[in-house]
Structures are given as C-alpha cells and as structure tokens.
C-alpha cells in the first residue's frame, strides 16, 4: 500500500514538472490547439523524467501521447530551450561516453550503414524519390522536391567550377545521384566512396556507362589525387575526434589549386553528441559540427573561401519527405507497422522543427588549400 502511494505521488510530481516546462513553451498538456499534447498513458511523464528526449520519443512511438502538429509542437519546445537542459541519467551517460571514446573510429564507421542506409530500401525510395538524394534540397527557385534536389547538386557543381576532364572525389556518395549529375552534365570523372554496401551497389547501377567509379570503403583509406572534392551530408557521421583527420585526408587527396565543398548540417554550439533519440533509433554515432569546430579543424589546412547557410530549406525538405512517405506508407508492406510509421513521423517532423526553430543549420563551405588567386567568386 505504501509503495503504491509513493508511486502515485511520484507520478503526480513528474506530471506537474513536465506540464510546467511545456507550458513555458506554450505547449499545453490536454489543450485543444494543433500543437498541444494529448496524453493516452500516464507513464509518459516518468518516461520523460527518467530518459529525457529518448523517453519522450519512445513514448510517442509506443502511442502514449499524440499531437496533431508535431512539427509545430517541437518548434515551440526548441525555441523555449527545452533541449538545452540535461534532464535525465541517459542524457548524462551518452555525453560522458562520447567524451571518453571515439565513437566514429574505423571499426564503428559502418554501423550507421548497417542500421540505416543498408536497410529500408523500399522506404527510402518512397520518401526520397527515385534519385534517393538524402540531404537538404535548395529551394531558391524550386517548386518541387525533385527540382530542389537537382538545384542543390548543380549548385555544388557550379561552386566547384567543374570542367570537362577534371577528376572529382565524392566522399559519402550515397546512392550516386551527385556523381551521376556531375559526370553527365559537366563531363568530369568521378570517384564516389560510401561505407554502405547497398548504396554502393545502387550507385554503380545508377552511373552505369559514365566515367564513375564507386568504392565501398572508409574515407581514411582513400588514395589518389583529385582536382575537386565534394562531400554532401556525410560530415555529420565523422565525429569531433576525427574532424581534423577528415580534413587532413581531403587536403592530401586534393591538388594544390583544387577546391573542396563541404555540405553539412551544423549546430549552434560545439557538442560531443546528438539528440539521444536520434542516436539510438536513426543515426547512431552522429554529431552535428559547430562552426567553431569546423573552422578549428580547417586551420592551417585550408582557406575558407565561402560559407553559405540555407538551413530553413531543410525544414521544407523534411516536410516534403514526410508528405511523400506518409502518402506511400500503406503500400510499403507488412514489415512497416504502426510503430514504424510513428517512428519515422517523429524523426522527420522533429527534425523539421529543429531547422524551423533555427537550432540546426545547413552549410555549404568552399575550401581551398592555398587560397584562390584573385579571390573566389561566390555562387548562389
């Protein structure tokens, strides 16, 4: 009886604590606005207090709570800074582990490929489109997702000043669309590298008949010399302990008069970890680099020629992915049950909120080994 009473009291304290924090972000528990939360299972409160963002996300996937406009809910929570507090033992543990060990060392580099990129091929095609470009689109003059992704890849090619006959390296080539575009439209020879077996196979098929070579390997093992290097949406998997190594590899592979374009999500603060729910269920070992971390890693290796930010475009990209995926969900097959649907919905909409709240950024950074003679002409 005493134990039951203590549990009820603890549950009440947890509920009041969560309700107070969320109310400060203009999110009401039991409210009737689209961004308010409806609780179906009272265990959600203790789950959040004990496991922070991991507990909140897992409770959503379990169906313990709902929200009509999940993206707007999290936009408010993030703008209020609720992500900045370490709420739980789980948050502290992953932070400590990241600071003590290199979670992106070569022996673990393929974990994200095995757990994310090598799986869900049918789902990725439904969400991303046939080209399967899994990075932020460029919406300046685009009206559709396909146009935005083509515009982004072409923007990269134009920023690098690609010309026929050049040798280009694509670090983290994904399913090969950037390599195909560069070879087909600009007449360059491309070497693409990925740690994902499934991506490598698909990229080879996509680029069949073009001067494109796809390698399944870690970036640290690469050799050769290249006139241009591009890396789109891969640096988020490199990790703080390896930023300097990554840029040293790029410098070693790049000709003295070459250019390197780094396209990456960025965070406003230097961190050793990513959101715990994203780390556990979507991108293991990922970390978003800060501007300070990138600049520090590049010091003495590269001249920063251009730094272009268009983070709000990722909000629009993620919302387009969510719309496509939810529209196609019922046709994906029995393996994609209701829990999986809620997991993917939570991932896409909370990430969209992170860009809408300006917590996350999207940067394209052009680097040169010695500085472009006469200056670099920025391309938009």
293-350 residue pLDDT tens:
999 999 999 999 999 999 999 999 999 999 999 999 999 988 899 999 999 999 999 9
CB atoms < 10 A from the CB of 351, how many? 24
Q: Of 100, 128, 154, which closes a domain? A: 100
Q: Comparing 10 with 377, which gets the higher pLDDT?
A: 377
Question: Is there a single domain that holds both residue 140 and residue 235?
Answer: yes
User: C-alpha dihedral over 360, 346, 138, 230, to 10 degrees?
Assistant: 70
Find tokens 């800060």 and name the residue. Answer: 290
Is 136 known to be catalytic?
A: no
Give the pLDDT score at 106: 67
On whether residue 118 sits in a domain, the answer given is yes
Is residue 243 within 8 A of residue 289, CB to CB? The reply is: yes
In the chain, alpha helices (H): 2-23, 43-61, 70-79, 89-100, 111-112, 121-128, 145-160, 177-186, 197-206, 243-253, 276-281, 291-298, 312-328, 338-356
Q: Is 378 inside a domain boundary?
A: no
**Domain match, 205 and 298 both:** yes
87 is in which domain, residue-wise? 2-100
Block residue for tokens 């896409």: 348
Are 22 and 134 contained in the same domain? no
Looking at the fold, whether 140 and 39 belong to one and the same domain comes out as no
Domain count, the chain: 2
Residue 119: its pLDDT value, please?
Answer: 73
- pLDDT reported for residue 4: 40
Average pLDDT over residues 129-139: 97
Asked which of 40, 71, 100 is the last residue of a domain, the reply is 100
Structure tokens at 312: 């709000």
**Residue 123 reports pLDDT greater than 70:** yes
pLDDT at 372 over 80: yes
Q: Is 209 among the domain residues? A: yes
Catalytic residue (choose from 136, 173, 207, 351): 351
For residue 87, pLDDT beyond 80 = no
Q: Indicate whether 380 belongs to any domain.
A: no
pLDDT band, very low/low/confident/very high, at 193 (cuts 50, 70, 90): very high
pLDDT at position 91 is: 61
pLDDT given at position 99: 63
Angle ∠(194,116,205) on CA atoms, nearest 5: 45
pLDDT digits (tens, 9 = 90+) for 201-224: 999 999 999 999 999 999 999 999
CA-CA distances (angstroms) from residue 336 to 114, 274, 328, 342, 345? 18, 26, 11, 10, 12
pLDDT at 15 over 70: yes
**Considering only 9-23, 26-40, 110-124, 138-152, which range has the smallest mean pLDDT?**
110-124
Asked if the structure places residue 336 within a domain, the reply is yes
Q: Is 139 exposed, middle or buried (0-12, 13-18, 19+ CB in 10 A)?
A: buried
Residue 86, pLDDT > 60, answer no
Q: Does 145 share its domain with 90? A: no
pLDDT in tens, 273-284: 899 999 999 999
Claim to verify: residue 29 and residue 118 sit in the same structural domain: no
Domain boundary among 100, 120, 150: 100
Domain containing 276 — which CATH number? 3.40.50.150
- Asked if 91 and 168 sit in the same domain, the reply is no
- Model confidence at 9, pLDDT cuts 50, 70, 90, reads very low
Q: How much is the mean pLDDT over the chain? A: 92
Report pLDDT for 55.
94
Residue range 113-136: mean pLDDT, rounded: 87
Residue-level pLDDT at 318: 98
Residues 6+ apart with CB under 8 A from 70: 345, 346, 349, 350, 353
Q: Kindly report the backbone phi and psi dihedral angles of residue 309, in degrees, each rounded to the nearest multiple of 5, phi listed first.
A: -110, 130
Stretch 26-46: mean pLDDT = 97
Same domain as 115, residue 173: yes
Answer yes or no: do 75 and 132 share one domain.
no
Mean pLDDT computed over 244-256 = 98
Its pTM stands at 0.92
pLDDT of residue 1: 41
Res. 8: pLDDT tops 60:
no
> Alpha-carbon distance 249 to 242, whole Å?
10
Q: What is the mean pLDDT of residues 266-270?
A: 96
| 274 shares its domain with 152 | yes
pLDDT of residue 325: 98
**Buried (b) or exposed (e) across 203-233, using 16+ Cβ within 10 A?**
bbebbeebbbebbbebbeebeeebbbbbbbb
Residue 71 in domain: yes
Answer yes or no: do 182 and 304 share one domain: yes
Q: Which two tokens stand for residue 246?
A: 């990554």
Residue 374 located in a structural domain: no
Q: Are residues 129 and 217 in the same domain?
A: yes
- Provide the percentage of residues in the chain whose pLDDT is more than 70: 88
Contact 123, 143 (CB under 8 A): no
Does the residue 373 lie in any domain?
no
């Amino acid at each position: 009886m005493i134990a039951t009473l203590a549990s009820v009291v603890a549950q009440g304290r947890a509920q009041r604590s969560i309700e107070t924090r969320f109310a400060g972000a203009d999110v009401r528990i039991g409210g009737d606005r689209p961004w308010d939360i409806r609780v179906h299972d009272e265990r959600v409160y203790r789950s959040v207090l004990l496991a922070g963002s991991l507990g909140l996300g897992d409770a959503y996937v379990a169906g313990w709570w709902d929200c009509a406009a999940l993206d707007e809910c999290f936009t408010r929570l993030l703008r209020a800074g609720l992500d900045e507090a370490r709420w739980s033992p789980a948050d502290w543990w992953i932070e400590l582990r990241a600071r003590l060990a290199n979670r992106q060392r070569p022996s673990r580099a393929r974990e994200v490929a095995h757990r994310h990129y090598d799986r869900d091929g049918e789902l990725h095609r439904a969400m991303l489109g046939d080209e399967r470009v899994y990075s932020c689109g460029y919406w300046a003059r685009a009206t559709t997702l396909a146009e935005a992704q083509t515009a982004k890849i072409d923007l990269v090619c134009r920023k690098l000043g690609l010309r026929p006959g050049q040798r280009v390296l694509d670090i983290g080539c994904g399913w090969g669309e950037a390599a195909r575009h560069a070879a087909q439209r600009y007449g360059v020879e491309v070497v693409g590298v990925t740690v994902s077996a499934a991506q490598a196979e698909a990229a080879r098929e996509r680029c069949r008949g073009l001067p494109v070579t796809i390698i399944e390997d870690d970036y640290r093992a690469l050799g050769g010399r290249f006139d241009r290097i591009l890396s789109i949406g891969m640096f988020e998997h490199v990790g703080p302990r390896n930023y300097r190594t990554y840029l040293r590899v790029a410098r070693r592979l790049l000709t003295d008069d070459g250019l390197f374009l780094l396209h990456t999500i960025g965070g406003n603060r230097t961190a050793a970890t990513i959101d715990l729910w994203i780390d556990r269920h979507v991108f293991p070992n990922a970390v978003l680099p800060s501007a300070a971390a990138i600049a520090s890693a590049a010091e003495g290796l590269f001249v920063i020629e251009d730094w272009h930010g268009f983070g709000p475009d990722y909000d629009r990209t993620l919302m387009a992915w969510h719309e496509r995926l939810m529209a196609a969900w019922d046709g994906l097959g029995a393996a994609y049950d209701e829990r999986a649907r809620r997991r993917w919905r939570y991932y896409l909409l909370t990430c969209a909120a992170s860009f809408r709240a300006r917590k996350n950024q999207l940067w394209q950074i052009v680097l040169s080994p010695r500085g472009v003679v006469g200056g670099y002409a920025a391309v938009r």
